[in-house]
Structure 1
Amino acid sequence: MLVAACGGPVEIARPPSRDRAACEALADRLPERLADLDPVPFTPEDADGGAWGDPPITLTCGVGVPRGFGPASSCIAANGVDWFAPDDETQDNDSDITLTTVTLTPRVRLHVPATYRGGTLAAALVDLAGPLTETLTAGTRCL
């Protein structure tokens, strides 16, 4: 869940305690700028995530299984990271898209406003691939 209130910091959920160490390591490796977007403040500051741009792209670490994901789901592969997005979001280029890493532990969710679909989204996935694969545990690849 993320919320921006009247220009204030974006709210990002803290990871569960079991994911805290891995999420802290990831947060330390996140890029200062994502897809050439400036960072924006988020709260709580110890949420071990990130926010960039206006409207913000947000990254939340330590999330659950995304809605619609199952054993036969296909993924979007980007630089060694498998991302899942619900079908309704992948088919509607005018809506926000929420991608979740489903083969890394802990899982990470990236919420991308519709305005950034296309080149900015692709650049964001490339920028995140290194920090994600260097700090999180890889599992079985998606279909």
Structure 2
Amino acid sequence: MKFSELNEASWLELQHYLDTCLLPVSGLRGDETPWEATDKIARTGQWLAPIETSFHGRTVTLPAYHYDLSDEGDVTRLNNLCSKLRNTGFAYIIVVCGQPEYLSNEIVADLLVQPMVLDEQPDVDSIRSQIAMLWRKPAVTQ
């Protein structure tokens, strides 16, 4: 589900089942032309779509974190966001990016999904398998 599909009543009713949030990260630097920004965001959407489709009843897609993680402060901000999301009740945090090898292991999400090279297409079966393995492990709590 997308965050905008939930209201207070439905969240209270469904929160137990919607234990995984998907956080898209676009990786914009701010110096892209409009078409370059559109392309980066679309690539992130290509990696996000198969997860949303496959796990519609268990995931909530949150608003995208669009801008660069090039310095330590940005990674810290993203990690703080992941911690806050976990504190709101999400047992699992999956960060999805369409930029090759953009996300670092410093990010405290449960799973990072991203291409290894430019123009790589998502391996839907592999991503599904990684998520299923994630759900077999006990959730991280804070």
TM-score of the pair, normalised by structure 2: 0.31
Higher strand share: 1
Which has more radius of gyration? 2
Q: Per chain length, whose mean CA-contact separation is higher, i.e. which structure has more relative contact order (CA < 8 Å, sep 6+)?
A: 2
- Structure with greater helix share of residues: 2
